[in-house]
Amino acid sequence: MISKTVVFQYASPKFKVLFKRKRYKLAFGGRGGAKSHSFARAILEIGARRKTRVVCGRETQSSIKESIKYLFDLIIAEYGLGAQYTSTNDYILNNITGTYITFIGLQDHNSQQVKGLESVDIFFGDEANQFSEKTLEFLIPTIRKPKSELWFSWNPEYPMDAIETLRELPENKAYKIDIGWEDNRFLSQEALDEKDWAEQKDYDKFLHVWGGHYRPDGDDKLISLKSVMTSQARIPEILNVPVFAGLDPARYGTDSAALVIRKGNQILHIEEWDKCSVPELAGAMGNFIIKYKIECMAVDIGNLSGVFDLLMDIKHPQTYINPELCRIIEFNAGGKSPDTHYKNKRAYVWDRMRKWIEESGVLPKNQRLLRELIQQEKFLNEQSQLQLLSKPMMKKKKIPSPNIADGASFTFDPAMEPPDKPEPQRAMGRSRVWAG
Ligand SMILES: Nc1ncnc2c1ncn2[C@@H]1O[C@H](COP(=O)(O)OP(=O)(O)O)[C@@H](O)[C@H]1O
Ligand SMILES: [Mg+2]
């Protein structure tokens, strides 16, 4: 077959560096900067010159439809290159050079999909703001073939996102392409009109979506980005206060379980379990209780996972926790709030956590927790009570379930405080005032 050489046109000369050698190629900026289109074109072009193994990855990908494969297919069709390529459900193959492009989700590091990353020449992560710390820590050392490259493009969302740390890479390691719609000479009139409309409608939002600025705080959020950033920068004080823990067991085994251990202003530890059986989870608590001297642990019972029952069950010595060592209390998110200004217990403890973040708390550099905190939406209901957006609603809006932040919020349940010690006998039932 005769290879039809195509030299693609690029929306901006800034993308020329994609053809030069460096370990990292990073493109970041607002919508319409031609990031996705240019990366896909450059991959096809490089792959048409020499055999290249390419993997395009997302944080999660439940079906190929969620991948960026459509864009490669679109470009191949647009330039009439169909005969040169084999495009199946899972991959794109350049029939002449043998360049092979596949599409995977990375979140499950043990899945079949992520096998064979060692042979990759170019890894391309679009929408890379979605990548978790865990995923990047696994991915970067795995792409280790000599001269292999990591390409990432994203619209900045939160300054604490894991991908943002790559912007600090030294110049000799990374090409950093800061790009926006202004750079794109192929942006359609329709897109430009949309941009103008967005600019008039909500300028702060426009600066984020189109301008490449971080996402602004909204009135609908319970905890502000600013307070989270300030909290992270505080120096922790060592206080003589009890250690509390919150355990959010996995819901029906679908999402992950989280344990958060807090001592006063400090989060001492965060532990997550991706897939873990109920007895396994309950059985793991003993060691944490001893190691961190946990005085009280609140366990969410809303999901009926049975972890709470196991921790209390004297008949199960592997999981039963001696109440003298650590009090185990049940946390019922839908239960009554101690203060009628809140719809339920969940809203109440989250708002206490908000105050803690604003006033004294020191948050750790855990990207998942920080994101979960600033993504929690709130509103005032008809009774003027503070209410949090429900989990099903959050799911609808594609906001991930806040497992770690929920675990942390349980430690703000007033029921965690030590039970009232019997009051010393006072004369005449009045408190005595000591003079002098
Ligand atoms: N090389 C190109 N040729 C033609 N059109 C392009 C090219 N690059 C980008 N575009 C146009 O610009 C639009 C925005 O590009 P896209 O890659 O989606 O931007 P981003 O990923 O930065 O948001 C695309 O929808 C496409 O219409
Ligand atoms: Mg894009």
Over the stretch 308-324, which tens digit does the pLDDT of each residue have?
999 999 888 888 998 88
Q: Is residue 252 part of a domain?
A: yes
Examine the pLDDT at 9 and tell me if it is beyond 80. yes
Q: How confident is the model at residue 394 (pLDDT cuts 50, 70, 90)?
A: confident
Q: Which atom of ligand 1 is nearest to the CA of 9?
A: 1
232 in the same domain as 364: yes
Examine the pLDDT at 99 and tell me if it is beyond 70. yes
54 in the same domain as 184: yes
Q: Which atom of ligand 1 is nearest to the CA of 10?
A: 1
Mean of all residue pLDDT scores within the chain: 90
243 in the same domain as 95: no
Q: Cα(72) to centroid of ligand 2, in Å?
A: 13
Q: Is residue 327 part of a domain?
A: yes
Q: Which atom of ligand 1 is nearest to the CA of 8?
A: 1
Q: Is residue 204 part of a domain?
A: no
State residue 184's pLDDT score.
Answer: 98
Both tokens assigned to 272: 């997550």
The tally of domains found in the chain comes to 2
Q: Are 58 and 163 in contact (CB under 8 A)?
A: no
Q: Cα(406) to centroid of ligand 2, in Å?
A: 32
Q: How confident is the model at residue 306 (pLDDT cuts 50, 70, 90)?
A: confident
339 in the same domain as 254: yes
Examine the pLDDT at 430 and tell me if it is beyond 90. no
Q: 77: which DSSP letter?
A: H
Q: Is residue 142 part of a domain?
A: yes
Ligand 1 pocket by Cβ (under 6 Å): 9-11, 31-38, 41, 184, 186-188
Examine the pLDDT at 252 and tell me if it is beyond 60. no
Q: Is residue 105 part of a domain?
A: yes
Q: Cα(38) to centroid of ligand 2, in Å?
A: 10
Give the domain CATH number at 241: 3.30.420.240
Examine the pLDDT at 54 and tell me if it is beyond 50. yes
Range of the domain at 88: 13-189
257 in the same domain as 179: no
Q: Which atom of ligand 1 is nearest to the CA of 41?
A: 1
Report which protein residue has its CA nearest ligand 1's atom 16: 34
Q: Is residue 423 part of a domain?
A: no
Q: Cα(51) to centroid of ligand 1, in Å?
A: 26
Which residue out of 182, 184, 209 has the highest number of ligand 1 atoms within 8 Å of its CB and is therefore the one to mutate? 184
Q: How confident is the model at residue 253 (pLDDT cuts 50, 70, 90)?
A: low
336 in the same domain as 411: yes
Examine the pLDDT at 96 and tell me if it is beyond 90. yes
CA-nearest of 214, 264, 211 to 241 is 264
Q: Which of 138, 166, 189 is the last residue of a domain?
A: 189
289 in the same domain as 341: yes
Q: Which atom of ligand 1 is nearest to the CA of 27?
A: 22
Q: Cα(136) to centroid of ligand 1, in Å?
A: 26
Q: Cα(243) to centroid of ligand 2, in Å?
A: 45
Q: Which atom of ligand 1 is nearest to the CA of 187?
A: 12
Average pLDDT over residues 420-431: 45
Examine the pLDDT at 113 and tell me if it is beyond 80. no
What are the tens digits of pLDDT across the range 341-352? 999 999 999 999
Q: Is 100 helix (H, G, I), strand (E, B) or coil?
A: strand
Examine the pLDDT at 207 and tell me if it is beyond 80. yes
124 in the same domain as 61: yes
Examine the pLDDT at 3 and tell me if it is beyond 60. no
247 in the same domain as 366: yes
- Residue showing tokens 């990353």: 117
Alpha-carbon distance values, 7 to 35, 38, 101, 319, 419 (Å): 18, 12, 19, 65, 74
294 in the same domain as 166: no
Report which protein residue has its CA nearest ligand 1's atom 24: 34
Both tokens assigned to 384: 């003027």
363 in the same domain as 230: yes
CA-nearest of 327, 331, 347, 328 to 339 is 347
Q: Is residue 387 part of a domain?
A: yes
Give the domain CATH number at 180: 3.40.50.300
Which ligand places an atom closest to the C-alpha of 41? Answer: 1
Q: Cα(27) to centroid of ligand 2, in Å?
A: 10
Q: Which helix (H) or strand (E) holds 230?
A: helix 225-233
Dihedral pair phi/psi, residue 141, rounded to 5°: -70, -20
359 in the same domain as 280: yes
CA-nearest of 109, 107, 69 to 400 is 107
Report which protein residue has its CA nearest ligand 1's atom 9: 34
Q: Is residue 163 part of a domain?
A: yes
Q: How confident is the model at residue 5 (pLDDT cuts 50, 70, 90)?
A: low
CA torsion 59→350→408→128, rounded to 10°? 20
